[in-house]
C-alpha cells in the first residue's frame, strides 16, 4: 500500500503518507501560562493512531496578527511545551510541522484598545469593516523576521519543521494577490514578500528541518482581484524555484465565504480538489512532494490518488477524527480531559 510507504521531505523521513493538515484545535496552547496539556494529548493521540505527518494548528507570528481568543506566543513559555509535544509525538514515529501565519488585513481587533491596528500590505478594509494600516518598510521587515523567529522557536525545541500559511486570505496570500497588495514600492512585486519569508525562514531553521508552503490551488477570485488556478500555479512555481521548499500543500479559496469549499461540507464531492493538486504538481514539474487535500476520508480513495499520481501525500484531517467535537474544540469548549476521542482509522484501534 503506497499510503503506508515512507517519503522524504527534504532531509526528513516521514514514515507514511498520511497527513493531518493544520486545523484550529486548542488554540489556547499558545496562550502564555497554559500548560498545553489538552493539545499535546490531542496531537499524541493522532500520532499514536499512526499519522505520519502532523501539521500543528496555525501559530500567529506577531502581535499585529490578532483576534480575540487567539494568542501570540511567548518564546520562553513555548519552549517546554514544544519539547513535551515533540517528545510524545516522536515516541510514536510521527513528524511534526508547525504552521505559521499572520492575518494581515483580514484580522479582527474586536475594537479592543490593547490590540494593534491590523497590519496589511495595503490599507484594505476587512469584511468586519476594519481598515488595515499599510505596513512601512520597517514593519514589513519586522514581520519577515517574526516568521523566522517563530520558526526558530519551534525547530529549536524538537518540532521537525514549519509550514507557511499562504492561503485563506491571510497576509501571505494578500501579498501575492492583486486584491491584497496594491503597493507601488518593491513589496508590490507579487512574489517579493513570500520569497523573502521563505529565504529568511530557511536561514533560521537550517537545512535539516522541513519547510513547507500552503497556497490555494484556486482562490475562486479569477477576474475579481485574485489569481485563479493558473496564476496560483505561477506562484507555486516561483516559490519552489527558491530551492528552499520541501513540500507544497494546498487549501482552496481566500477565506470568508470560501471556507465551505476549503473545508468541504457534505454538499461537495469526495476528493473534489485532487485534479487541482495535480495541476500544482505539474506546475512545479514534481520538483517537491505535494499533499492532496479535501474530503479524502478513506484509505481506498487516498491510495487511488497516490497511485494516479495526483499527489505524494494525503491530507486526511477530519477523517482522522471519530467525533467532530474533538476537532472543533477550541479555547472555549469541547473535550476536557482524559484521552481525546480522535483516531486515524484502523491504526488507532491497534495503537490504543
Ligand X SMILES: Cc1cc2nc3c(=O)[nH]c(=O)nc-3n(C[C@H](O)[C@H](O)[C@H](O)COP(=O)(O)O)c2cc1C
**Under the rule (CB under 6 A), what is the footprint of ligand X?**
21-24, 58, 99, 165, 214, 251, 263-264, 293-296, 315-319, 327-328
DSSP string, 149-168: HHHHHHHHTT--EEEEEE-T
Name which of 51 and 134 has its Cβ closer to ligand X.
Answer: 51
Q: Closest by alpha carbon to 207, among 12, 16, 52, 8? A: 12
The answer to whether 322 touches 339, Cβ cutoff 8 Å, is no
DSSP string, 308-336: HTS-SEEE-TGGGBS-HHHHH--SSSS--
Query: Residues near 136 by Cβ (< 8 Å), separated by ≥ 6?
Result: none
CA of residue 351 relative to chain centroid, distance? 27
Distance CA 104, CA 290 (A): 26
The answer to whether 148 touches 199, Cβ cutoff 8 Å, is no
Q: Does residue 233 sit in helix, strand or coil?
A: helix
Name which of 120 and 212 has its Cβ closer to ligand X.
Answer: 212
Q: Closest by alpha carbon to 3, among 20, 18, 13? A: 18
How many Cα atoms occupy the beta-carbon half-sphere of 102 within 13 Å?
28
Least spacing, CB of residue 168 vs ligand X, in Å:
6
Contacts 24+ apart (CB under 8 A), 129-135: 132/104, 132/105, 132/107, 134/183
Name which of 22 and 198 has its Cβ closer to ligand X.
Answer: 22
Least spacing, CB of residue 21 vs ligand X, in Å:
3
Name which of 184 and 265 has its Cβ closer to ligand X.
Answer: 265
Rounded-to-5 percentages of helix, strand, coil across the chain: 40, 15, 45
Name which of 188 and 323 has its Cβ closer to ligand X.
Answer: 323
Name which of 134 and 327 has its Cβ closer to ligand X.
Answer: 327
Name which of 198 and 296 has its Cβ closer to ligand X.
Answer: 296
Distance CA 97, CA 107 (A): 24
Name which of 27 and 132 has its Cβ closer to ligand X.
Answer: 27
Least spacing, CB of residue 19 vs ligand X, in Å:
9
| Cβ atoms < 10 Å from Cβ of 302 | 26
Q: Closest by alpha carbon to 187, among 106, 119, 117? A: 119
Least spacing, CB of residue 327 vs ligand X, in Å:
6
Least spacing, CB of residue 31 vs ligand X, in Å:
16
Name which of 120 and 166 has its Cβ closer to ligand X.
Answer: 166
Least spacing, CB of residue 266 vs ligand X, in Å:
11
Least spacing, CB of residue 185 vs ligand X, in Å:
29
Q: What sign results for the dihedral spanned by CA atoms 265, 325, 328, 313?
A: negative
Least spacing, CB of residue 253 vs ligand X, in Å:
10
Amino acid at each position: 500500500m503506497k499510503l503506508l510507504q515512507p517519503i522524504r521531505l527534504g532531509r526528513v523521513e516521514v514514515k507514511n503518507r498520511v497527513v493531518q493538515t493544520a486545523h484550529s484545535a486548542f488554540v489556547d496552547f499558545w496562550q502564555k501560562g497554559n500548560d498545553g496539556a489538552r493539545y499535546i494529548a490531542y496531537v499524541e493521540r493522532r500520532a499514536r493512531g499512526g499519522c505520519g505527518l502532523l501539521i500543528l494548528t496555525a501559530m500567529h507570528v506577531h502581535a499585529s496578527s490578532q483576534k480575540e481568543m487567539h494568542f501570540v506566543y511567548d518564546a520562553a513559555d513555548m519552549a517546554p511545551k514544544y519539547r513535551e509535544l515533540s517528545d510524545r509525538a516522536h515516541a510514536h514515529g510521527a513528524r511534526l510541522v508547525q504552521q505559521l501565519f499572520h492575518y494581515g488585513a483580514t484580522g479582527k481587533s474586536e475594537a479592543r484598545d490593547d490590540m494593534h491596528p491590523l497590519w496589511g500590505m495595503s490599507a484594505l478594509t476587512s469584511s468586519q469593516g476594519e481598515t488595515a494600516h499599510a505596513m512601512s518598510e520597517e514593519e514589513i521587515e519586522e514581520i519577515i523576521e517574526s516568521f523566522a523567529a517563530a520558526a526558530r522557536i519551534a525547530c529549536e525545541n524538537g518540532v521537525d519543521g514549519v509550514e507557511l500559511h499562504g492561503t485563506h486570505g491571510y497576509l501571505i496570500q494578500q501579498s501575492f494577490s492583486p486584491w491584497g497588495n496594491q503597493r507601488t514600492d518593491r513589496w508590490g512585486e507579487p512574489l517579493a514578500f513570500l520569497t523573502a519569508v521563505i529565504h529568511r525562514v530557511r536561514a533560521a531553521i537550517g537545512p535539516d528541518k522541513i519547510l513547507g508552503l500552503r497556497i490555494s490551488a484556486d482562490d475562486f477570485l479569477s477576474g475579481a482581484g485574485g489569481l485563479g488556478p493558473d496564476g496560483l500555479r505561477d506562484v507555486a512555481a516561483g516559490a519552489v524555484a527558491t530551492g528552499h521548499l520541501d513540500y507544497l500543500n494546498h487549501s482552496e479559496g481566500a477565506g470568508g465565504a470560501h471556507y465551505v469549499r476549503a473545508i468541504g461540507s457534505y454538499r461537495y464531492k469526495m476528493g473534489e480538489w485532487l485534479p487541482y493538486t495535480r495541476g500544482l504538481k505539474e506546475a512545479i514539474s514534481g520538483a517537491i512532494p505535494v499533499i492532496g487535500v479535501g474530503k479524502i476520508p478513506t484509505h481506498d480513495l487516498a491510495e487511488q490518488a497516490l497511485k494516479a499520481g495526483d499527489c505524494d501525500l494525503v491530507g486526511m484531517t477530519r477523517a482522522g477524527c471519530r467525533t467532530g467535537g474533538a476537532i472543533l474544540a477550541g479555547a472555549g469548549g469541547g473535550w476536557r480531559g482524559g484521552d481525546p476521542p480522535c483516531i486515524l482509522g484502523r491504526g488507532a484501534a491497534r495503537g490504543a
